[in-house]
Each structure stands twice: as C-alpha cells, then as structure tokens.
Structure 1
C-alpha cells in the first residue's frame, strides 16, 4: 500500500508539470496605424428670394 501511495504522489507531481503555459507579451515595435482619410464636404445654403436680392444689392455686408 505504501508503494501505491508513493507512485500516486509521483504521478500527480509528474502530471502537474504538464500544465500549458500561455504568455502575453507586448511587441517590441510600436503599433503604427496609417489613416489615409479624404474628407470632402459641401454646404448648401437656401435663402429667401428677398434676402438674396438684398445680398446682391449690398454685397459689401459680408
């Protein structure tokens, strides 16, 4: 019986060393994010006809 216990203890310790190891380490090079973005926009202004006439007649306001 004593031999069986000894073999059981040895088996447990032997199998305990078979645990997989997972390691997460940061990279040595910096992370580069290249963002080539082209932004275009259009602004449409709708004005009343009276306001448009006033803007044409008094163009020095703006």
Structure 2
C-alpha cells in the first residue's frame, strides 16, 4: 500500500514538473542582417639589393 502511494505521488509530481517546461521560441529577425565591410588594406614592400644591382637598375630603367 505504501509503495503504491509513493508511485502515485511520484507520478503526480512528474506530471506537475512536466507542465513547468519553459517555452523556447526561435524566430527570424524582422530586418536583414547587415555586415559593414569597410576595410582598408595597405602594405609596403622593402627590398634590399646589392650596390651592383642597384646601379644596374638605375642605369637601365627600362628593365621593368
């Protein structure tokens, strides 16, 4: 008899707890998502050359 009352109490308690589950809602935003892509890229290239190569580049500027 006591075992049956325990089972009944657990069943009633589980029914009450099952009714307390929070509601979760997922919805799409009303406005579109915008991503600002204003990116500025700067770079510098430093080349170190021998004096002979530097003189060659100065004398023959039409190489490149």
Q: TM-score, normalised by structure 1?
A: 0.63
Pick from 17, 26, 29 the counterpart of residue 27 of structure 1. 29
Give 1:52 shift: 0.6
- Number of residues paired by the alignment? 57
Mark the CA change 1:54 to 1:20 in structure 2 (over 3 Å): closer, same or farther: same
Q: TM-score, normalised by structure 2?
A: 0.62
RMSD in angstroms over aligned alpha carbons?
2.6
Give yes or no for the alignment of 1:51 onto 2:60.
no
- Unpaired runs of at least 5, structure 1: 1-7
